[in-house]
C-alpha cells in the first residue's frame, strides 16, 4: 500500500516503480523511480485527470510541496498531480559520487550515466502511466525548463501517452547543438550582468574587489573546497531568476569582515557562496548538462566541454582581463565547466566519467522532427521574452516547427515564473487550453 500523507489542503500518496535501467533490455537491471501523487483534500477519491509534472534540471528531484503552494493551487483545481523524481534524483535510485563508486571504473560509471537522459526518463514515465492509468488513458504534462525539453522527447517517442502538454520556459531548439546553445547564451548572460550593474552600480566595485582578492589569495569555502575567481563568477546563475539580481546584491554587500590581519571574506558570505556553487545536491546537473543538447545527427563529435570552448569567443567574461582593464567582472550563467570537477567535492570523484561523457559522440537523437511536424497533441507554452537559460528565438522557432503549439510570450516573468507567480503562469496556460483566452 502506498504511504499516504495529509498536508493542509492536500492528500499525498507515495509510489515506487521498478523500471529497466536500459529500456532496450527490459529484462536486465532494474532501478527504482519514486513519484508522489497529490490531490486536493476531499477530491482524492474522485476520478480526476492526471497531470505529470516534469521538473527542470537535469538532475533535480521533484518539488516537496507543503499544501497548495505556488502552481499547485491552480493544478489541483483541475487535476490529480504526479510529481516524478527523475531517475537518479530525489528518492529514485541515486546516481551520485557515493552510488556510482559501486559501479567500478570511470568507463562503467559513464556507461551507467548514459541511461539518465530525457529519452530514458520518458520511457520511465510511459511505464508509470500505463501502470497507474491503464494502457489507453493519456495524461497531461507540465514541463518546466528541462521538463519542456523532455516534453518534446515524449512527443517524439510516445505522443499517445499525452492528452495535452503545458511548457514553461522550456522549448529547446530541435537542431541546436551544444556550441550553438552557448554561443547564444553568453550574450544573454552579458545582458543580465548589464541589467544587474545598472540596478546596483555599487556592485561593480564590490565584485571587482572580491575577484581581485581571490586572484591573489587562497580562499576556501566552509566545505574545504577552493573558491576561485571562475567559481565566484558562477554566482551569475542567480541572474536568470526573478529575484536573483537582488539576492546576488545582498550576498555581495555582506562579503567583508574585519579580521585579525585586516579585511577578509566573511564566513556568512562564504557559506552563501557555497550554497550557490556546490552541486552536491544535484551532481547530475553537472555530469549531464551538456549532453541534454547532444544528438548524433547534430553534434556527432561530442559535446567536448562546449561552454568552456565557446567562452573563448567572449573575452568580456575573462575576469583577469576585466581587472586589468578596470572593467566590470562579469558573472557567468548556466554553463558547466571542466574545472568544476576539480573543485567541487561532490564532483571530483566523477571527473573521469564526466570526461568520457564529454567525448562521447554517438548520443541518440532526442527529437523526431518529422513526427513533431505532424504532432496532434495540443501544446501550450509560456516563452519568457528575456529568458537567460533557454533561448527565446530557439523556442519560437520550435513552436513554429512543431504542429499544435500555441505560445504565450511574456516579459512579466523570468525563467522561474511558474514557481514564483502565485499560479498566474499556469492559470494562463490552462485558460489557453480551455479556450478562455
Please report the pLDDT score of residue 132 as a whole number: 96
Q: Is the pLDDT of residue 417 over 80?
A: yes
Residues 345 and 409 in one domain: no
- Report the relative pairing of strands 10-20 and 4-7 from DSSP bridges: antiparallel
Residues 92 and 145 in one domain: yes
Mean pLDDT over the full length of the chain: 97
- Report the relative pairing of strands 405-410 and 256-259 from DSSP bridges: unpaired
Q: Domain range for residue 38? A: 4-174+367-433
Q: Is the pLDDT of residue 167 over 90?
A: yes
- Grid cell, residue 89, equals 534524483
Residues 140 and 198 in one domain: no
Find out whether 251 and 273 touch, Cβ atoms under 8 Å: yes
Helix (H, G, I), strand (E, B) or coil at 44: coil
Q: CA 100 to CA 105: how far, in whole Å? A: 9
Please report the pLDDT score of residue 239 as a whole number: 98
Residues 163 and 184 in one domain: no
Q: CA 316 to CA 322: how far, in whole Å? A: 7
Domain boundary among 338, 359, 380: 359
Residue 64's nearest CA partner among 28, 30, 14, 25 is 14
How many structural domains is the chain composed of?
2
Residues 205 and 94 in one domain: no
Taking residues 313-323, report their average pLDDT.
98
Q: Is the pLDDT of residue 69 over 90?
A: no
Domain boundary among 302, 332, 359: 359
For the stretch 80-133, pLDDT in tens is 999 999 999 999 999 999 999 999 999 999 999 999 999 999 999 999 999 999
Residues 340 and 384 in one domain: no
Instruction: Please list the active-site residues.
Output: 145, 362, 415
For the stretch 364-396, pLDDT in tens is 999 999 999 999 999 999 999 999 999 999 999
Q: CA 208 to CA 201: how far, in whole Å? A: 12
Residues 222 and 335 in one domain: yes
Please report the pLDDT score of residue 131 as a whole number: 97
Residues 189 and 169 in one domain: no
Residues 382 and 354 in one domain: no
pTM of the entire predicted model = 0.96
Please report the pLDDT score of residue 115 as a whole number: 98
- Grid cell, residue 217, equals 589569495
Q: CA 228 to CA 232: how far, in whole Å? A: 6
Residues 417 and 305 in one domain: no
Residues 206 and 222 in one domain: yes
Please report the pLDDT score of residue 1 as a whole number: 64
Phi, psi of 40 (to 5 degrees): -70, 140
Taking residues 290-309, report their average pLDDT.
95
- Grid cell, residue 377, equals 497533441
Element (H, E) at 385: none
For the stretch 231-280, pLDDT in tens is 999 999 999 999 999 999 999 999 999 999 899 999 999 999 999 999 99
Residues 190 and 159 in one domain: no
162: domain CATH number is 3.40.50.1820
Domain boundary among 359, 382, 399: 359
Amino acid at each position: 500500500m502506498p504511504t499516504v500523507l495529509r498536508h493542509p489542503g492536500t492528500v499525498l500518496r507515495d509510489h515506487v516503480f521498478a523500471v529497466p535501467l536500459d529500456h532496450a533490455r527490459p529484462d536486465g537491471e532494474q532501478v527504482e523511480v519514486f513519484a508522489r501523487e497529490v490531490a486536493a483534500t476531499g477530491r482524492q477519491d474522485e476520478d480526476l485527470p492526471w497531470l505529470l509534472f516534469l521538473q527542470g534540471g537535469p538532475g533535480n528531484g521533484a518539488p516537496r510541496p507543503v499544501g497548495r503552494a505556488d502552481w499547485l493551487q491552480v493544478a489541483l483545481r483541475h487535476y490529480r498531480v504526479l510529481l516524478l523524481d527523475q531517475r537518479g534524483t530525489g528518492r529514485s535510485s541515486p546516481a551520485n559520487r557515493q552510488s556510482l563508486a559501486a559501479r567500478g571504473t570511470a568507463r562503467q560509471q559513464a556507461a551507467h550515466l548514459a541511461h539518465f537522459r530525457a529519452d530514458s526518463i520518458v520511457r520511465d514515465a510511459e511505464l508509470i502511466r500505463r501502470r497507474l492509468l491503464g494502457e489507453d488513458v493519456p495524461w497531461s504534462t507540465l514541463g518546466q525548463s528541462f521538463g519542456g525539453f523532455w516534453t518534446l522527447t515524449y512527443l517524439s517517442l510516445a505522443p499517445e501517452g499525452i492528452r495535452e502538454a503545458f511548457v514553461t520556459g522550456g522549448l529547446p531548439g530541435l537542431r541546436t547543438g551544444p556550441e550553438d546553445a552557448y554561443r547564444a547564451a553568453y550574450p544573454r548572460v552579458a545582458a543580465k550582468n548589464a541589467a544587474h550593474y545598472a540596478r546596483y552600480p555599487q556592485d561593480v566595485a564590490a565584485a571587482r574587489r572580491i575577484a581581485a582578492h581571490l586572484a591573489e589569495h587562497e580562499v576556501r569555502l566552509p566545505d574545504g573546497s577552493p573558491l576561485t575567481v571562475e567559481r565566484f563568477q558562477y554566482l551569475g546563475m542567480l541572474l536568470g531568476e526573478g529575484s536573483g539580481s537582488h539576492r546576488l546584491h545582498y550576498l555581495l554587500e555582506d562579503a567583508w569582515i574585519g579580521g585579525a590581519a585586516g579585511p577578509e571574506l566573511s564566513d556568512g558570505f562564504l557559506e552563501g557562496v557555497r550554497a550557490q556553487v556546490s552541486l552536491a545536491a544535484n551532481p547530475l546537473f553537472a555530469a549531464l548538462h551538456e549532453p541534454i543538447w547532444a544528438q548524433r545527427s547534430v553534434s556527432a563529435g561530442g559535446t567536448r566541454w562546449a561552454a568552456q570552448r565557446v567562452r573563448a569567443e567572449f573575452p568580456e567574461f575573462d575576469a583577469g582581463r576585466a581587472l586589468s582593464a578596470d572593467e566590470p567582472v562579469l558573472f557567468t550563467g548556466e554553463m558547466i565547466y571542466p574545472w568544476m570537477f576539480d573543485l567541487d567535492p561532490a564532483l571530483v570523484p566523477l571527473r573521469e566519467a564526466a570526461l568520457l561523457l564529454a567525448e562521447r559522440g554517438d548520443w541518440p537523437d532526442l527529437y523526431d522532427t518529422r513526427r513533431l511536424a505532424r504532432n496532434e497533441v495540443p501544446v501550450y507554452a509560456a516563452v519568457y521574452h528575456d529568458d537567460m537559460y533557454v533561448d527565446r528565438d530557439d523556442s519560437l522557432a520550435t513552436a513554429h516547427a512543431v504542429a499544435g503549439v500555441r505560445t504565450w510570450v511574456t516579459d512579466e516573468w523570468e525563467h522561474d515564473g511558474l514557481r514564483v507567480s502565485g499560479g498566474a503562469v499556469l492559470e494562463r496556460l490552462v485558460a489557453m487550453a480551455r479556450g478562455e483566452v
